[in-house]
Structure 1
Amino acid sequence: MTARLLTVLVVSLVVFAGCVGVDPAADDGNDAGDGGAAPADRDGLSVEATDQLLRDAGSFTATWSYSTTEADETATITNAYRVDLRANRSLETFSMSGPDATTDFETFVADGSAYTRYETDGEAFYQVRPQDDTAFQSAVDRGTLSYESVDDARLVGTETFDGVTVDRYEYSELSTWRQFGAGAFGSGGNVTVTDFTVVILVDGDGLARQTAWTLTGETDDGETVAVEWRYEVTGVGSTDVPDPDWLDEARAQQTAA
């Protein structure tokens, strides 16, 4: 991945966190992921406590992704968690890809052990260590968003997501972003923001099944730049976590060591 695109990833995450209360990597202790205070009527955005709803469901898959496009080059980070609280098993997958590099790893947790597979240049390496399953909190923290900061999101209709009927809310406020210019993208020149939209899909239980924001702009020389952050919850109550196909190889490496 080029240093330019990596800068875009880091800087825009920081800027967005300061503007609308997003912290995708950690829980700030303010229960932002629990939805905060929001209108109770259907026309107003109302999101229930994510962690409790997912605990009650017993299993789920959470996928977080972040991508930037600049000069026709795209860099993407994807982090997915399959969590089965009933069986106390999880599988986390992480990938980071760009024009120059790709990084991947998977961590499977079961029976008090964590098995991690790293792949570099087509060659796999394994690590096995004792560990309790912490994937649930990590998955929830990835989707932390302060919904009260966009509680005036507009209900635009209903649709189907992952087989469930959801209400679609949208929020867009360009003026908030125009003051940041190049800082929002990490670009070398000024950027005019042309589109900024937050979309939230909420099911009948008040669980935000998808939260996504997109930010698009244009530099002084006409170059289009774009950023997208997305968090999705699928397989609620129906996710299982089978052994990964590389588990025997990881155990064999541990035995040989």
Structure 2
Amino acid sequence: MEKTRLKRLLLTATVALLVATAGCSSLTGGNGANDGNGDGASGSGYDVAGADLDGQTLTDATSDSVESAGSFTVETTTTFTTSQGGEEQTSTSESTLRVNLDDDRGIRNQTQTVDSGDGAQEQSTVVYTDGSTSYRKQTAQGETSYDQQDGEPQSFGGIQPVNTAAFAQNYTGIVDGFAWEQSGSSEVDGDAVTEYSLTGEPDRDTLGLGENATIEDASGTLYVDSDGAVRQVDIAYTVTTQQGTTSIDATTNLSNVGSTSVEEPGWLSEAS
């Protein structure tokens, strides 16, 4: 039961940070610098108190902003370090998602590295979607394969198409699962943002946290622009259950809104 709750918690954390996407800025603030204005900072960013932040409102505002602009880039880096039974394993995922909604094109580059102490294993996947057709390039253990698919996957192992019809990031779990307060202002990708720092205890119900599970060492920052669009999220925490501990360290960054182009990859003929 605790394993199921832990999986729910990890999913809650990564659903906002992972689009099967990633690679990105650092957990020290990435593209911006805190101006030290504290809780009174508003500037040209989001003029809402931290206690009044609502995850669904921010998710909807971000989607509206991106979809009206027509294109975007999302970069994400996520690291999970799991300790169980005296064994430790680290999994790092770096992904970059570029989508042009107006052209109905998108490309997702993802690299995942798993290190269990006996040597790291790396796998990379690139998916390019043009309309209803998706192409995939996979590299693992020195071997590269290519395939093509029309529409949605019909079986396990099929290609998960890039969503070229909408902005699919969801920030609800991250925003509502933790408490936030205004902590300054800065810029992300040249746009003014308000910074919100994680503070206080997590919402156990929102995070689906079991009675015997705890969250420790939680820290994070949200960067929200004047339209209510979430431009960057940095978050880190450790979940402890009866089975062991899992430390999560993740960053997702939204950039090039309205200026992202998607080019046909050079390997496309190999997958056709």
Residues 201, 136 of structure 1: alpha-carbon distance in 2 compared, 3 angstrom cutoff: farther
Structural mapping, 1:145-224, within 5 Å? 145-146=172-173, 149=176, 152-174=179-201, 183=213, 194-216=216-238
String of CA shifts for 1:67-119, please: whole Å, max 9, x gaps.
12357853112343210011111001222211132121111111542111111
CA deviations over 1:138-172 (Å, ceiling 9, x no partner): 8624x442466268511111112222221100122
Equivalence for 1:85: 101
Q: CA deviation at 1:228?
A: 1.5
Relative to the length of structure 2, the TM-score reads: 0.64
Counterpart CA distance in 1 for 2:14 and 2:93 is: 20
Instruction: Map 1:1-257; keep pairs closer than 5 Å.
Output: 12-16=6-10, 41-44=47-50, 45=53, 47=58, 49-69=61-81, 74-99=90-115, 100-131=120-151, 134-136=162-164, 140-141=168-169, 143-146=170-173, 149=176, 152-174=179-201, 183=213, 194-216=216-238, 226-251=247-272
The aligned residue for residue 31 of structure 2 is none
Aligned residue for 1:49, secondary structure, equals helix
CA RMSD of aligned residues (A): 3.8
Which structure ranks higher in relative contact order (CA pairs < 8 Å, sequence separation ≥ 6)? 2
Structure 1 residues 65 and 204, CA, compared in 2 at 3 Å: closer, same or farther? same
1:135 corresponds to which letter in structure 2? N
Q: Which amino acid aligns with 2:266?
A: D
Deviations 1:4-26 (A, max 9, x none): xxxx9x975523557x8967679
Mind listing any 5+ residue stretches in structure 1 that lack a counterpart? 1-7, 27-39, 185-192, 252-257
Alignment coverage as a number of residue pairs: 218
Out of 129-138 and 224-233, give the one that drifted further. 129-138
User: Residue type of the partner of 2:8?
Assistant: V
Q: 5+ unaligned residues in a row in structure 2: which ranges? A: 20-45, 153-160
Amino acid at match of 2:79: S
Percent identical pairs in the alignment equals 22
Q: TM-score, normalised by structure 1?
A: 0.68
